[in-house]
Structure 1
Amino acid sequence: MSKGLIVICGATATGKTALALEIAKSINSIIISADSRQVYREFNIGTAKATQAEQELIPHYLIDICEPTETLTLAEYQEKVQSLIDKNLTKLPLLVGGTGLYIKSIVKGLKIPRVAPQPRLRLQLEALGQQQCYQILQQVDTIGSQKIHPNDQVRTLRALEVFYVTGIPISQQQGENPPTYPIVQIGLDCSTEELKKRIEKRTKKMLEMGLIEEVEKLVKRYGWELPLLKTLGYAEIINYLQGKLSLSEAETEIILHTRQFAKRQLTWFRAYPEIEWFDTTSSNLVENVLSKLNDTVELGN
């Protein structure tokens, strides 16, 4: 079989994991996670990670590969996925998740400067202030600066970091080199009301499964300031544990923030016309997706 890739994407709580398991079983394949938080160990319930039973049913990759104190760069993620695709020539891997930039790095073949974070350099740049840093960027990388908002400190610092480490403007190191193998992108969607119900149901399930206990263990081991504990689902429980919110208020905030996040995800994915959209509530979802795949790529058996 020639190399290829199936992408299953969409907003949070649209059923990507469930569909991926069914498709992977049908074509005897593997699942590669495209979720920026599921790469971290111990962050299980709040990231809606596939259960141990599900992971034993179908081989899963790029889940639990980093310690919570580590940082996985986009370049590292891209390299790992490309390596997995190269190694699985007899299968058609499924890239599954809602982190748009992770998926884009693979399907568009983003050229990413291989420059590790430079903490000391960043501290020196931050001390100069955003205005001065941006002015420096305009001088060393005029083209790159035009793509970055003057108030965007994160991208400004990254651009300067890359320039000072390599001596080459980041704008000259970026671009796209799309894979030559076939890629089918499947998007899952549903009505706003249905998605709201799904998010509410999943939030309640996370709490029932022990989200609070998970956060307590993480705080005990890593402290209150661990960056991952400031992300969706965890930050709200932290506020509850610190007495800033009641449990009911924390649950309400998780639901609200998850809906806002889902809206941003959908906006991202809607910008790519190559994604074929399916209604996740359809009773024939698996059959419809398999039919689409059969028309586009050579499936395993």
Structure 2
Amino acid sequence: MEDNYVVILGPTASGKTALSIQLAKQTNDEIISADSMLIYKGMDIGTAKPTKEEMEGIPHHLIDIIEPDEEFSVYDYQILSQKTIREIKERGKLPIVVGGTGLYIRALTEDFTLNQIPQDEAVRKKYYEIMINKGKEYLHSLLKDKDPIAYEKLHPNDYKRVIRALEVYELSGNSIYNLQEKKHTNNNILYIGLTMDREILYKRVNDRVDIMLKQGLVDEVRALLAKGISKEANSMKGIGYKQVIEYLEGRLDYDKMVEILKRDTRRYAKRQLTWFRGMEGIYWLDITKMKKEDIITKILEKMKEKQIL
């Protein structure tokens, strides 16, 4: 069965959330999040999670679905998002997928499967001991020659995924990112990409960080740690949480923490744009050069062209 839906993508702070809500209000449809941080309950400020008031009554899916210390894979997202699309379609509504996590969007729209390489405890233990003895940076450096793709994509602090990438390479001789099989789909998808001049985007990023801090980001992180959420949890390695933890542990002063948080968020936005620029078939809109109502009109026109509306 062919699925018709819209995907609104773009870097952090590009205005995806607000635009998607306005579009859904116009078409009376529902939103599916494609954001790897919005899945966590209780992590609201650092993820720029839309509030109930901001949602304006529009149903949002795949937000607040797991606790911060629970594991959630791309495969989990793929299964849940495809199920959610079917349910929305059964209600006679159009799914509007919104987010900046490129791998989530790809898992949903391309319907790829990860060829499962079974875990080998001996191999995992070997690399874990290397990390304990020589550190995360050294462990990460081992990827440079073995799996340069994973080396570029993974941060040294994300040691669990680094170990998994090394394990997959040792067992298969392939990059974990190459072990993906794309299934043929008949989906009719309209990709809308939001963009703007780099300087404007970076200012928006910096302003967003300032707003998050005023809203109480430090207290949010402190409360999560007080609840027993480990700083090693994948959720706590997200941008915003990791830097605040370093501040709370006394490894950064406040001003330095703010500076690094803004820098890391700008770098993340740049990586997102690089990922999306590598995708085909995206209709790009510079939202700083058009009125919001004109952007909505353009999207509606494209939906009609694709026979989605």
TM-score normalised to structure 2 length: 0.81
Partners in 1 of 2:7 and 2:102 — Cα distance? 11
Structure 2 counterpart SS, 1:222: coil
Q: CA 1:215/1:126 → structure 2, altered by over 3 Å: closer, same or farther?
A: closer
Residue type matched to 1:297 in 2? Q
The answer to whether the 8 Å contact 1:75/1:113 transfers is no
Quick check: 1:3–1:92 contact (8 Å CA) kept in 2? no
Which residue type is aligned with residue 81 of structure 2?
V
Q: Structure 2: which 5+ runs fail to align?
A: 132-138, 155-161
- The CA deviation at 1:258 is 0.6
Structure 2 residue aligned with 1:203: 209
Q: Give the alignment partner of residue 106 of structure 1, picking from 91, 105, 108.
A: 108
Question: CA 1:120–1:41 in 2, change beyond 3 Å: closer, same or farther?
Answer: farther
Which of 174, 179, 183 is the matching residue for 1:177? 183
- Would the aligned equivalents of 2:33 and 2:61 in 1 still touch at CA under 8 Å? yes
| Distance in 1 of aligned mates of 2:101 and 2:30 | 18
Alignment partners' CA distance in 1, 2:262 and 2:150: 32
Q: Is the 8 A contact 1:107 1:178 kept in 2?
A: no
Q: 97-106 or 223-232: which moved more?
A: 223-232
| Matches of 2:80 and 2:118, distance apart in 1 | 16
Matched ranges for 1:236-247 at <5 A? 236-247=243-254
Give the partner amino acid of 1:76.
Answer: D
Which amino acid in the other structure matches residue 295 of structure 1? Answer: E
Structure 1 residue 298, shift from structure 2 partner = 2.6
Q: Which moved more, 1:279-288 or 1:240-249?
A: 240-249
Q: CA deviation at 1:246?
A: 2.7
Q: Aligned partners of 1:148, 1:46: CA distance in 2, in Å?
A: 26
Map residues 8-19 of structure 1 onto 2, 5 A cutoff: 8-19=8-19
Match of 1:221 among 219, 227, 248: 227
Instruction: Decide which of 263, 267, 278 is 2:270's aligned counterpart.
Output: 263
Judged with a 3 Å threshold, the aligned counterparts in structure 2 of structure 1 residues 170 and 35 are, in CA distance, closer, same or farther, namely closer
Give me the whole-angstrom Cα distance separating, in 2, the residues matched to 1:91 and 1:107: 18
Identity across the alignment (%): 35
Partner deviation per Cα, 1:37-95 (whole Å, 9 max, x = no partner) = 11111111101111122346111111111111111111111001111111222221011
Cα separation, partners in 2 of 1:117 and 1:278, compared to 1, 3 Å: farther
1:248 Cα deviation after fit: 2.3
> Aligned equivalents of 1:294 and 1:24: distance in 2?
15
Alpha carbons 1:7, 1:94 under 8 Å: kept? yes
Structure 1 residues 83-128: Cα deviation after superposition (integer angstroms, max 9, x where no partner): 1111222221011110000001111111124679787873356458
Moved more, 283-292 or 70-79: 283-292
Task: Determine whether 1:248 maps to 2:255.
Answer: yes
Aligned to 1:28: 28
Which residue matches 2:159?
Answer: none
Amino acid at match of 2:95: P
Task: Name the amino acid aligned to 1:201.
Answer: D
Match of 2:67 in 1: 67
Instruction: Give the match for residue 167 of structure 2.
Output: 157
Number of aligned positions between the proteins: 282
Say whether the 8 Å CA contact 2:117–2:168 is kept in structure 1: no
Unpaired runs of 5+ in structure 1? Answer: 139-144, 164-168
**Distance (whole Å) between structure 1 residues aligned to residue 123 and residue 28 of structure 2:** 47
Q: Give the match for residue 279 of structure 1.
A: 286
Equivalent positions of 1:44-83 (< 5 A) are: 44-55=44-55, 57-83=57-83
1:293 is aligned to: 303
Question: Compared with structure 1, are the counterparts of its residues 44 and 158 closer, same or farther at alpha carbon in structure 2 (3 Å cutoff)?
Answer: farther
Counterpart of 1:29, as a letter, is D
Secondary structure (helix, strand or coil) at the match of 2:45 reads coil
Q: How far apart are residue 177 of structure 1 and its match? A: 1.0
- Relative distance call for 1:190 and 1:110 in structure 2 (3 A) is same
Secondary structure of the 2:114 match is: coil
Counterpart-to-counterpart distance in 1, 2:258 and 2:52 = 25
Structure 1 95/160 Cα, relative in aligned 2: closer, same or farther at 3 Å?
farther
CA RMSD of aligned residues (A): 3.1
8 Å CA contact 1:75–1:114 kept in 2: the answer is: no
The structure-2 alpha-carbon separation of the partners of 1:239 and 1:126, relative to structure 1 and needing over 3 Å to count, comes to closer
Distance in structure 1 (CA, Å) of the matches to 2:272 and 2:195: 11
Q: 1:288 offset after TM fit, Å?
A: 1.7
Q: Is the 8 A contact 2:3 2:186 kept in 1?
A: no
The residue aligned with 2:136 is none
Whether the 8 Å CA contact 2:69–2:230 is kept in 1: the answer is no
Q: Secondary structure in 2 aligned to 1:57?
A: coil
